[in-house]
A and B are shown apart, each in its own frame.
Chain A
């Protein structure tokens, strides 16, 4: 059993042009800000961002948009970030809007070895455009395919050396889903704790999903 703690340089080296980056957080809360610094330092461009929102202009996730690193966004809401809205309007960024619950569930599927999920959400709206409708026992459902990415960025409250994680309050949001929905999962934790310091019953994200933890 070896520690998953890594230096900032080791994490910066993960990022490359054209990747899909999955990011935890909700409206600037529970965002892995130090890991966003790593993406910025890597110089990676033409990224696809998979996240609930893009934060505020030049805040949290918005810093990636501000730095011109993002070509595509898949999110439930971009309205807080006036810069993203303007870039989408001018055609510089492509956006796919997904109902929030469907976004969460699609990430969950992506991290759970599932191909997608059937939901009523979005039936009869633009959200069903281009999607498959599936009929089960006479009921109509929208097929929402799974989503996952190349690197997942997670903000946790505490992490032990093998990546068992806890969260606090509404900073949990999409983070446990992001931890599962990427080929490589990197964690930024407010507190780095010792092995056994997080009781097994209190673990929210088991370390099995985590590849690297940013060392302080």
Chain B
């Protein structure tokens, strides 16, 4: 999923990665992509080892990293000015639920709200919002007609990358773009609530 999501990046892009699967996207990003961390830096590099592990370079998840050449540092207000003003080419986040309109719920389950962190700003500000998640939660659909969990943002998702398929949110509805080799569109349809539009040029998802 991380590899497929990273295929949306291009050289020159500034990208913010959420925790979990999204954080793995930097392993697959093309050269020339720089990563933003909301606690105040563009130019996040690989995770730090040994003496490179210093408090001053930690990502939003608290993991220590090595800054890349050309890294820039700023405070949290500046960091979100960059986010909200559309300077990020993309953000990749995990998802609990996505609706057919592209609403995203990824920060809270009812009765368990520990905080949205920067997610609400990111989904409103980044030019492309990519959600990586399992297609279902123990067989229950996560792609729904309407989200039942508290929203992170309304009509904000562009692409949904799952372990079985890639779905785009479009004005015409959810479009099935890619499926894993051997998986049929009918099998995907059975695992999601809204009716999918199957792309004319439906492709096989790269392994």
Contacts and interface: CB of A to CB of B under 8 A. Distances in A.
Same complex for A and B? Answer yes
Interface of A: 26-30, 52-53, 75-80, 85, 97, 99-105, 107-108, 119-127, 157, 167-177, 204
- Report the interface size class on chain B: 35 or more
Contacts of B80: 100-102, 104-105
Interface of B: 37-41, 54-62, 67, 73-77, 79-80, 83-84, 103, 113-121, 124-125, 150-154
A173 B80 CA distance: 11
B77 A170 contact: no
Contacts of A177: 75-77
Contacts, number: 141
B121 A26 contact: no
Contacts of B116: 76-77, 97, 99-100, 125, 127
A105 B77 contact: yes
A102 to B, nearest CB: 7
Would you call the interface of chain B mostly helix, strand, loop, or mixed? loop
A27 B84 contact: no
B124 A173 contact: no
A102 B101 CA distance: 25
Contact of B58 (A27, A100, A120, A125): A27
Contact of A79 (B57, B114, B120): B114
B55 to A, nearest CB: 5
A170 B39 contact: yes
A6 to B, nearest CB: 25
A125 B120 contact: yes
